[in-house]
Amino acid sequence: MSHPIRIATLSLNPAIDQTARIANFAAGRVNRVEWEQSDAGGKGVNVASFLADAGIQVAATGLFGSGNIEPFIELFARKGIDDRCVRLEGRTRVNVKITDPALDQVTDINFPGLTPTAADLARLTETLDQLLAKIDWLVLCGSVPAGVPNGIYGELIDQLQARGKQVLLDASGAPFAEAVTHGPDIIKPNIDELAELVGRPLAGPAEVLDAAMSLIDSGIRLVVVSMGPDGAVFVEGDQAVHAIPPSIQVKSTVGAGDAMVAGILTGTARGLSLADRARLATAFSLGALGELGPHLPPMSVIDDFASRVQIKKPS
**Active-site residue list:** 258
Pairing state between β 82-88 and 166-170:
unpaired
* Closest of 251, 288, 258, 57 to residue 170, by C-alpha: 258
What CA–CA distance (Å, rounded) separates 63 from 275?
Answer: 36
User: Under a CB-based contact definition with an 8 Å cutoff, are residues 188 and 226 in contact?
Assistant: yes
Q: State which amino acid sits at residue 230.
A: D
* Closest of 27, 28, 25 to residue 98, by C-alpha: 25
What CA–CA distance (Å, rounded) separates 30 from 22?
Answer: 11
What CA–CA distance (Å, rounded) separates 25 from 168?
Answer: 38
Q: State which amino acid sits at residue 187.
A: I
Give bridge partners of residue 106 from the DSSP assignment: 99
